[in-house]
Structure formats: structure tokens, C-alpha cells
Copies of this chain bind each other. A is one copy, B any other.
Amino acid sequence: MITVLRMGHRQKRDERLSTHVGLAARALGADEIIYSGEEDRGLIESVNAVAQRWGGKFSARYDGNWKGIIKKYKKKKFCIVHLTMYGISLKKKIGKIKKNKKILVIVGSEKVPPEVYQLADFNLAVTNQPHSEVAALAIFLHEYFKGKELDKKFPKAKIRIVPQGRGKKVLEK
């Protein structure tokens, strides 16, 4: 069970990045995403619409109380992993993290409150360079699932792609 918590969403500025975080979470094996920050119904609807159309059980929802979420998931015995360029290298900690079957992965937007660093079980760096929460989440999930997430099936899809060497083949129900 992997839940992603996207912190500090800003409706206008982060619309597309937050969508990419949600879709990457889904495609790479997470079970749900919770958006915090500004409430954005369009965002939630668009991620859930993709999930419905493309199959599987992923879902997106909004909860503005990020501190409450982290504490609730801690109580439910989730391992709290905060992805941050300031943290300890993924390679050093991924072995320990993999022992947990329930993970709350936190990804921030521009500014993450200091308390998140305290509440997290792991402040984990996918490189100590500035880049992208989408890239960091992707590599984290890829390492956590050992690449098996790339073969994940998405049952009850209304649309699916038939892989092609060139061009596009799409099957729709």
C-alpha cells in the first residue's frame, strides 16, 4: 500500500505539475494520492478521470490538513518517507524502507514546513541536486518496486495501448 501526499498545491501555478505527480504515482504503482494545499476540484477530477478510463484502483482526493494526514498514517503503521534534496541518499536507506509494506510518500511543492522533516521517518534524497518532485517520486517508486511496477496491470480499463515499434495503436471499449 503506497499513498502519496502532495504538499502545498497551488491551484494556478502547480496545476500541471501536480497532475503529473498524480499520474506518475498511479502509473508507477502507488494506490492513491492525497493533495494538500489549495483545494482544486478540477485537479482531483482530472486525475480520477484518467484512473477510471485507464483502469486499476488508483484514486485521488483532497485533504487540506497535511499534519493530520501524516499523524493518521503514522498511527496506521505507515512508514513516512519525505522526498527532499536535503535528505540522506536513497541508496543508503532504500533497503530499510523496502521492509515496510505501507508507505506514505510525501512530495513537496516549493516550501515544505520544517515540521515535515521532523514527522518523517526518512528524509530521503534522490540526489542532493535541485530537480523535480515528479522525477524523485518516479525513481523512488521504481526502486521500491524493483522495476516490477513497469509490468503492472490495470484491470477494467476502457482504453489501452498496444505497444508498437512505430506509431500508435489504441484499443477503446
Contacts and interface: CB of A to CB of B under 8 A. Distances in A.
Given A28-B135, A131-B26, A138-B139, A86 B168 contact: yes
B27 A165 contact: no
A20 B135 contact: yes
Task: Give this chain's copy count.
Answer: 2
B131 A169 contact: no
Interface string A80-116: 0000011111110000000000000000000000100
A31 to B, nearest CB: 15
Interface string A106-140: 00000000100110100101111111101111110
A125 B129 CA distance: 26
Contact of A125 (B114, B128, B163): B163
A contact patch SS: mixed
Contacts of A120: 166
Interface of A: 13-14, 16-17, 20-21, 23-24, 26-28, 50, 54, 85-91, 114, 117-118, 120, 123, 125-132, 134-139, 142-143, 147, 149-152, 154, 160-161, 163-170
